Structure 1
């Protein structure tokens, strides 16, 4: 299935294809991958929602800055994800960032999610399924939902995995990130078995920690040995200084440095869609 056909297949679904982007360790590029893949999907005409499930709210900050860049105005968030969870309604939360790209904003108050979870559930099933019914109405409004989850909250991770179709694992090339990927896959496997989930690992996306250091290639090879070469993206996100500017200024497309980053993420997103196409083909064959 070629990419235009995958796009059509995604757009023709009754519910959004939902992808959780994760790793049990922090600082491995999860948030960067989330908003740049989302931005690319939106540019391709795919109606995309980013749900920022991280109390640090870095995806929220970057995308709200992107909105300000697009519209030359400053915006504030009227309602956060945690308030939506408490009200048991997320449908009025999405903020339009640009054409085809919306955001469910997070804020520091989402650090209270775990306390709220245990105070408002009676068993483990309810604990892991609290967010699913809140996202179900949103699934009917979008083509793709990308979930940005924090590294150290197993409660948020479990809730996100429950209603996701795919998991994309972000791997920055250092040892902690690889062990975090292994822990994340183990978490997915346990949840799959316990709740008979249909979630699949769509792949592992490497981001170079230091392109001049031979350790990077060693970590990538270790990931291929551990998870299978076919499960590691062939497109690797190299170090680019402009990526570090986006959280300060928002995502821009003004010069060759911007375009270098956006071209790379077009390649990454194309590979992501190709991998999704393989799963669609496999399901249709069954």
Structure 2
């Protein structure tokens, strides 16, 4: 394997939830059949719609099945800016040469939190 850790991204929709279950089974097969050595850093929720009952229900299902401690505390919420990055590319607010606004700074802050949480989770397993 070319990775020490895996993050499972879970969009808050039923198909993605079922896909996460299947992916975890696949990862277990890698360990069982090939002695793969990696850890699952956690499940990163990505909301399709903020404050939606469906999204909340999927999150609750995931917490019940996968254990709340395995779910990232930082959640990627639906943001128009993320869709825009597909078109214009990611804007780095730390680079003074790139034009950015408060929305770019908000996305950057969220991803820094997710990165820090990932590093913390991986550090626990070492």
TM-score by length of 2: 0.91
Q: 1:192 is matched with which residue: 31, 34, 40?
A: 31
Matched, 1:182 2:21: yes
Counterpart Cα distance in 1 of 2:51 and 2:74 = 18
Q: 2:51 is matched with which residue: 212, 224, 231?
A: 212
Correspondence for 1:131: none
- 1:236: how far off? 0.5
Correspondence for 1:150: none
Correspondence for 1:251: 90
Counterpart Cα distance in 1 of 2:5 and 2:115 = 14
Higher relative contact order (CA 8 A, sep 6+): 1
The number of residue pairs the alignment matches comes to: 119
5 Å matches for 1:10-159?
none
- 1:198: how far off? 1.0
Counterpart Cα distance in 1 of 2:119 and 2:105 = 20
Counterpart Cα distance in 1 of 2:84 and 2:118 = 24
- 1:257: how far off? 0.7
SS in 2 for 1:205: strand
Counterpart Cα distance in 2 of 1:267 and 1:183 = 27
Counterpart Cα distance in 2 of 1:190 and 1:277 = 24
Aligned-residue Cα RMSD (Å) equals: 0.9
Task: Give per-residue Cα distances to partners, 1:59-112, cap 9 Å, x unaligned.
Answer: xxxxxxxxxxxxxxxxxxxxxxxxxxxxxxxxxxxxxxxxxxxxxxxxxxxxxx
- 1:274: how far off? 0.6
- Unpaired stretches in structure 1, ≥5 consecutive residues: 1-161, 281-286
Task: Give per-residue Cα distances to partners, 1:87-144, cap 9 Å, x unaligned.
Answer: xxxxxxxxxxxxxxxxxxxxxxxxxxxxxxxxxxxxxxxxxxxxxxxxxxxxxxxxxx
- 1:186: how far off? 0.3
SS in 2 for 1:211: coil
TM-score by length of 1: 0.41
Q: 1:241 is matched with which residue: 77, 80, 103?
A: 80
Correspondence for 1:127: none
Counterpart Cα distance in 2 of 1:268 and 1:212 = 20
- 1:174: how far off? 0.5
Query: Could you list the runs of 4 or more consecutive aligned residues of structure 1 that deviate by over 6 angstroms after TM superposition?
Result: none
